[in-house]
Chain A
Amino acid sequence: MNPLRYDLKLIASWITPGTKILELGCGEGDLLHWLKREKQVVERGIEIKESKVVRCIERGLSVLHGDINEEIEDFPDNTFDYAICSQTLQQVYEPATLIRAMLRVAKMGVVSFPNFGHMKIRLKLITSGCAPVTEELPYSWHDTPNIRVLSLDDFQHFADQTGFKILKKAAINTQGVQGKIVRVFPNLLATYGIFLIGKQ
């Protein structure tokens, strides 16, 4: 099995073995596949791209083809232990609604996203005067799927306003399978943030 991307490895390390997981925007199912094999979780995924859904099912994963905002609605309350939304929140039109839905269908949620507060992005905006294009957010303003740019601190405020708890968090710097935890000035120095969230 290919080694997991660093951020996914970190998420996986937070998951209790044998639990029931829903992943929103599961792509080709790398995380679910790993969790199923290594931690014997019961997995469900939602993915919008047909070719990726086919890949997931070929790998033996249970995955639904569709839009995460709609597909999450049909699950009964507390069906899952974790609802994971890895690097997708920044593409969601109504993040508060989605997070409420995640905490309705699952006991806990895991959310990760690229940090728009990173030093590189701040500098780019100041020096060039143009909307920053970075490795983590590689699109131009006009063709980006990332319609919600947010920093780690933004998410913290969002939690307070929306009314959910941050149970655990990790600020990381990562490239592929390599990466490290950022402990000093995370909102300035981390490229990604990962949050474990729960109901208030």
Chain B
Amino acid sequence: MNEYAGQDPDGATVAGANVGGNSVGIVEKQAFTFAQPPDPMSLESGASIGPVTIAYETCGSLNKEKTNVILVLHALSGDSHMAGFYTPEDAKPGWWDTMVGPGKGIDTDNYYVICTNILGSCMGSTGPASIDPSTGKEYAFRFPMITITDMVTAQKALMDHLGIKKLLSVIGGSVGGMQVLEWCIRYPSMVVSAVPLATTCRHSALAIAFNEVARQSIMADPHWNNGDYYGQKKPDMGLAIARMIGHITYLSDESMRHKFGRKLQNKSALSFEFGAEFQVESYLQYQGKKFIERFDANSFLYITKAADYFDLARGYGKGSLVKAFSRCQAKFMVISYTSDWLYPTYQSKEMVKAMKKNNLDVSFCEIEAQWGHDAFLLPDPRLENLIKGFLRSAVNESVAI
């Protein structure tokens, strides 16, 4: 199968990138464990879990006053590896290396940037693939249901542990953007500024529908075995299909037309058989195959469910989004993309409207891009300049206060 250059929504690839130049260089994954028995972490569902480990990485240096902290929050299947390399031999840098680094949009010469792996994931933080200390076996489907609220609770515990009391900015796209909004509402006096990118205050029926089809494809895989597949054959086919569905929603009609059109894969004529004949088929199969190598099917189930449950109006405003934002104090910059049909611009405008009604300081820009939901992860000087300028004004205004 072909190796495709270009983007991957949770792991942007950069051709020819290497250590040095404007890279943050070598980074190290760290871990923080808390909620040790007998004090487990309480979850939104009423259940509790402990101990909880959160994987995180940092770039740049923390200033003496601890006022230059930026928290980057990743999307569904991302990880704490936002920038740089683990070893000089790494083929690829972190997933947002185009944005985070010396002189870049999030300038590591000025800011101390932290990225944590979300609760429920499988990239170092506690999730369904982690060992349940009470049984000595993987949690699997005995892992409690988690929400965006719980992810933020765990991130807050890490900030407390690091002694960080102010976040100059909280930045994230997609499911990361949901965490950004959650942070601003839960810890209003801690967040100076926030950048929710290509995100929403609640999933539309369309978004839930796609997630449900993806989940059903995993759970219909005979190897899923009610979640108990660790140490044996995994539900690879189900997870690969789930990823393929996801990928369709990350692109757009226009980007697929540009990228693939009706081009055939390695052939010039139709072969009238059920192989991957069209390039778009081959691309999706490749994405599915790549995904099963790095992601856990149960994590996918839990995190998509958390995203579907997310509803700021329900959670914090008794159904009113305006009320939900009434406690916020942060300065906002909301960004949407013209071709994003997963979280369309009208959803960003809804949150902007609620912010305006609360007299919050909000900027909004709908960026013209053909790449669909994926666009926020692609190198784009417009987004880089927007973030750079916005952060500078957040610094100036926080000094003035």
Contact = CB atoms under 8 A, between A and B. Distances in A.
Residue among B353, B368, B389, B396 having the largest count of chain A Cβ atoms under 10 Å: B389
A76 B365 contact: no
A53 interface: yes
A57 B352 contact: no
Given A74-B357, A79-B359, A50 B333 contact: no
A143 B389 CA distance: 35
Interface string A47-64: 000100110111111111
A141 interface: no
A50 B365 contact: yes
Interface in B338-395: 349, 352-353, 356-357, 359, 361-368, 382, 385-386, 388-390, 392-393
Interface in A85-136: none
A75 B358 CA distance: 8
Contacts of A50: 365-368, 382
B365 A53 contact: yes
The number of chain B residues touching the other chain, given as a range, is: 20 to 34
11 contacts: A50-B366, A53-B363, A57-B333, A60-B389, A60-B392, A62-B331, A62-B362, A62-B363, A64-B352, A64-B364, A74-B353
A40 B253 CA distance: 46
B362 A64 contact: yes
Contacts of A75: 356-357
Interface string A144-167: 000000000000000000000000
A46 B393 CA distance: 18
The interface residues of chain B, by DSSP majority, are classed as helix
B348 to A, nearest CB: 10
Nearest to A44: B361
Contacts of A58: 385-386, 388-389
Contact of B386 (A44, A54, A74): A54
B395 to A, nearest CB: 9
Interface of B: 331, 333, 349, 352-353, 356-357, 359, 361-368, 382, 385-386, 388-390, 392-393, 396
Contacts, number: 57
Nearest to B390: A57
Contacts of A62: 331, 361-363, 393
Contacts of A61: 363, 393
Contacts of A64: 352, 356, 362-364
Contacts of B349: 66
A65 interface: yes
A76 B366 CA distance: 23
Contacts of A54: 365, 382, 385-386
Contacts of B333: 57
A194 B33 CA distance: 64
A75 B362 CA distance: 12
Nearest to B382: A54
A181 B180 CA distance: 51
Given A57-B389, A65-B365, 10 more contacts: A50-B365, A53-B363, A53-B365, A54-B386, A56-B363, A57-B386, A60-B393, A62-B331, A64-B363, A76-B359
Interface in A12-65: 44, 50, 53-54, 56-65
